[in-house]
Structure 1
Amino acid sequence: MTIKSSISLRDDQHAFAKALVEGGRFPSVSAVVQQGLDLLRQQDADAQADRAALRTLLAERATGDFVTGDDLRARIAARRAE
């Protein structure tokens, strides 16, 4: 279903959208705006997925073994020596 909506664009935004239409990349300014909204929706979904993955990783790390700074430095030194 398509809903007609009135939006306001700055002059530079309208010029850019119109240039995309005139260049044949989109059939209309509306199509340009729709594509922009679709991209924003995808970016939002990606950001939510990234945050969820980070929360999971942090939760896993919080319950894992703790390594002191001295232990970490010793492990790094041992790796460098290899």
Structure 2
Amino acid sequence: MTVKSSISLSAEQHAFARAQVKDGSFPSVSAVVQHGLELLRQKSEGERAERAALKALLEERAKGAFVGAATMRSRLDSFTAARRRADRDAD
């Protein structure tokens, strides 16, 4: 279903949309605007999903044991050393 809506565009936005139509990328200025809104919707949904995943991860980690700075530094040093060995062995 299509709903008619009145919108205002800046002169620059309108010129860009008209150029897209002229180049054959879209059949109308309306189609350009619809595509832009769809991209914005997809971006918004992706960001919402990322925030939800981050929140779930943080909540899960909050339930786990605390890892102190010294332990984390040791783990990172071990990881870095293993990574360097792997890179050397690959050469």
Give the TM-score of the pair, scaled to structure 2: 0.81
Alignment correspondent of 1:66: 66
Deviation per residue, 1:36-75 (Å, 9 max, x gap) = 1111111111011001000000011111121111222233
* Distance in 2, Cα, partners of 1:13 & 1:76: 49
* Distance in 1, Cα, partners of 2:77 & 2:33: 55
* Distance in 1, Cα, partners of 2:15 & 2:50: 34
The one-letter code matched in structure 1 to 2:65 is D
The one-letter code matched in structure 2 to 1:45 is E
Shift of the 75–4 alpha-carbon distance from structure 1 to 2, 3 Å rule, reads closer
The one-letter code matched in structure 2 to 1:47 is E
Shift of the 48–78 alpha-carbon distance from structure 1 to 2, 3 Å rule, reads closer
The gaps in structure 1 that reach 5 residues or longer are none
Higher relative contact order (CA 8 A, sep 6+): 1
The one-letter code matched in structure 1 to 2:26 is F
The gaps in structure 2 that reach 5 residues or longer are 86-91
